[in-house]
Amino acid sequence: MTTEIKCGLEIHGYIKTPANVKLFCNCLAHSSEAPNTNICPVCTGQPGCKPMPANEEAIRAVCSIALMLGCRINHSLIFQRKHYDWPDMPTGYQRTMSGSFSAPVGENGSFLGIGIREVHLEEDPARWDPKTGAVDYNRSGCPLVEIVTEPDFKSASELREWLKRLVRTLSYIKAIDEEAGIKSDVNISIAPRFSRVEIKNVNSFTSIVQAAEYEISRQEQEVRAGRHVEQSTMRWNDDKARTEFMRSKETAQDYMFIPDPDLPVISIGDAYIKDLEAGLPEKPDQKASRYRKLGVDKADADVLSSEIELASLFEVIAEQVNPVLAARWLRRELLRVLNYNKKELAAIKLEEKQIIALLEMVEKHEITDAVAKRILEMLIEKPFDVRGYVKEQRLAAISDDDTLRRLCKEAIQENPQAVADFKGGNEKALNFIVGSVMKKTKGKARPDAVKRMISLELNSLEP
Ligand SMILES: [Zn+2]
């Protein structure tokens, strides 16, 4: 039986701004410092304290996110008070752009085939530990973006790839704190009644997919057993890998939304939106498809477009060097070397012109792949003149046939057992002789040329 499924997400991410301050005060946001150190009367909700006007950088970041997701931007943004009484919210209400009278920052977008209902800005509550009762206000008032999708996902398996691509796209504009991760509410409803069940605060890609899978199959069982699925709010228990009932679904009225009288309406003009749009980068998917048109294979194009720094490096290099070769080297070799050395591309001093020089030499077979890999490993440590180094260290590929033939003959003489094995039908024995020549040349011979030369020599030795 295949059931019709509707699944939507409400994704929360921390907004990262250059000044890294909270939404309504100048306390540092997203710090890893001791509890209750980045606080002031505003973000701890002291009586009589008015919020400062909303952080302009945060508004700019949310507008950029909404534009990246194809949303229409509203011209008047209104903060509302969402009332609830909970220890993590000292004012008794959360200031949010969602709710009954809301004009979210962006609406009616679409990203990779999934509708984006709205994108808005809100403040984070404090961190409350229900076991000890301790409250840490460092997080209180940090700017959060909420991205609400339409219930367009038809299965749990679609979620992971979509979320991965969403985070990748938003990483281009560096508006989201990726290290802080995302949290999501997951809404699931199935035919025939489509009663909406909301799973709150699921906090990793894996858990989001698991929670959706679990909830879909739970609801299918209910329907098969002839029971109604009740509209409700659930929580995801990571340890037990199951959803658990929290409460019957509250309606918007339960929160008594009112526009916040302390915060003026924020006007967003056309010129502001145009200016933001002009500064937005090309999206990763657009980049990947452009790279594929250059002949780059899909896996390379996907990886290269996943990080803006890597994409920019590729684009500069591919203007000088064959794009397919450049893509292969950046994705496979450069990333391998970076991963191995636990380095980030954004954090190292890599000179584009040296990478170009290196790959030009590879392209023209002036150096072998083995030598180029060794140089690349050195280049991520510090920039240096690659051409000069190759000359100085005599690393140019051996292109002279006489030298190569002499070395191959030597290797054949030195490895009689391998020669005998090869003649006896063991093809792999040839690689052993090739390896011996490579060692003699310190990797400066091209393995395919050596292999060809050895085969020729061995054949000429045939009785
Ligand atoms: Zn504060």
**Residue extents of the structural domains in the chain:** 5-276, 282-392, 401-461
pLDDT at position 179 is: 79
Alpha helices in 305-414 (DSSP H): 308-317, 323-328, 335-340, 352-363, 369-379, 386-392, 401-414
143 C-alpha to center of ligand 1: Å?
12
Q: From the CA of 122, how far away is ligand 1's center (Å)?
A: 15
- pLDDT of the chain, 463 residues: tens digit per residue: 568 999 999 999 999 899 999 999 999 997 778 999 999 999 999 998 999 999 999 999 999 999 999 999 999 999 999 998 888 999 999 999 988 777 889 999 999 889 999 999 999 999 999 899 999 999 999 999 999 999 999 999 899 889 988 988 898 898 888 878 889 999 999 988 898 999 998 988 899 999 999 999 999 999 999 998 889 999 999 899 899 988 886 665 678 899 999 999 999 999 999 999 999 999 888 999 999 999 999 999 999 998 888 999 999 999 999 999 999 999 999 999 998 988 888 888 889 999 999 999 999 989 999 999 999 999 999 999 999 999 998 888 887 788 888 989 999 999 989 888 988 888 888 889 899 888 888 888 888 888 888 888 887 765 5
* pLDDT for the residue numbered 46: 94
If we measure between CA atoms, which residue out of 215, 273, 9, 252 comes closest to residue 115? 9
The pLDDT assigned to 152 comes to: 96
CATH topology of domain 401-461: Arc Repressor Mutant, subunit A (1.10.10)
CA of 39 to the centre of ligand 1 (A): 4
Q: What is the pTM of this model?
A: 0.78
The pair of three-digit structure tokens given for residue 234, joined into one six-digit string: 């659930």
Query: CA 147 to CA 65: how far, in whole Å?
Result: 9
Question: What angle, rounded to 10 degrees, do the helices at 284-293 and 308-317 form?
Answer: 30
Ligand 1 centroid–CA 65 distance in Å is: 25
Ligand 1 centroid distance, CA of 41 (Å): 6
User: What count of Cα atoms within 13 Å lies in the side-chain half-sphere of residue 347?
Assistant: 6
Question: What is the whole-number distance in angstroms between the Cα of residue 35 and the centre of ligand 1?
Answer: 13
Residues 115 and 209: their CA atoms lie apart, in Å, by: 19
User: How far, in Å, is the centroid of ligand 1 from the Cα of 25?
Assistant: 5
* Gap between the Cα atoms of 381 and 393, Å rounded: 18
- The CA–CA distances, whole Å, from 212 to 235, 335, 351 equal 12, 33, 45
- Going from the Cα of 26 to the center of ligand 1, the distance in angstroms, rounded, reads 6
The residue whose two tokens read 């191995």 is 340
Distance 129 CA to ligand 1 centre (A): 20
Residue 375 corresponds to which tokens in the numbers above? 């140089």
What is the pLDDT, as a whole number, of residue 250?
62
How many whole angstroms from 137 Cα to the centroid of ligand 1?
9
What separation in Å is there between the alpha carbon of 49 and the centre of ligand 1? 11
- From the CA of 45, how far away is ligand 1's center (Å)? 9
Q: Residue 140 C-alpha to ligand 1 middle, in angstroms?
A: 8
CA of 447 to the centre of ligand 1 (A): 64
Give 61 Cα–ligand 1 centroid separation in angstroms. 20
Distance of CA 128 from the midpoint of ligand 1 (Å):
17
Ligand 1 midpoint to CA 141 (Å): 7
CA of 145 to the centre of ligand 1 (A): 19
> 54 C-alpha to center of ligand 1: Å?
12
CA 142–ligand 1 middle distance (angstroms): 9
**Three-state secondary structure call for residue 256:** coil
